Amino acid sequence: MDNLYIHDTNKIGRYADGSFGAGDGMEYLNHQDSYLKTVFGMIGITDVNFIHVNNTAKGEEAVREAIAGAHVAIEQAIAA
């Protein structure tokens, strides 16, 4: 099957109530990233990177910090 979509790289924003990112101790429970990579891979999108906003259930301060971290990640992704 030929790829239906060709692009250099793709960024996906995703939020979670908890923290399932790299090094967070609960990373093994993050099934969304691998699932989405598989689905996108089926249509030819193979270079997928995620920008996470985690801990959204831990209060307003945690949400502000998570969003600020995501903004930094977005700026770095755009600059790359």
Mean pLDDT split into 10-residue runs, the chain, 80 residues: 51 63 73 87 84 82 89 86
**pLDDT at 1 (0 to 100):** 42
Q: Report pLDDT digits (tens) over 36-57.
A: 889 888 888 888 888 888 777 8
Which of 34, 46, 43, 52 has its CA nearest to residue 10? 46
**pLDDT at 79 (0 to 100):** 86
pTM listed for this prediction: 0.63
Q: How far is it, in rounded angstroms, from Cα 13 to Cα 43?
A: 19
User: Would you say how long the chain is, in residues?
Assistant: 80
**pLDDT at 2 (0 to 100):** 46
All residues at 6 or more sequence positions from 4 whose CB lies less than 8 Å from its CB, including other chains:
43, 44
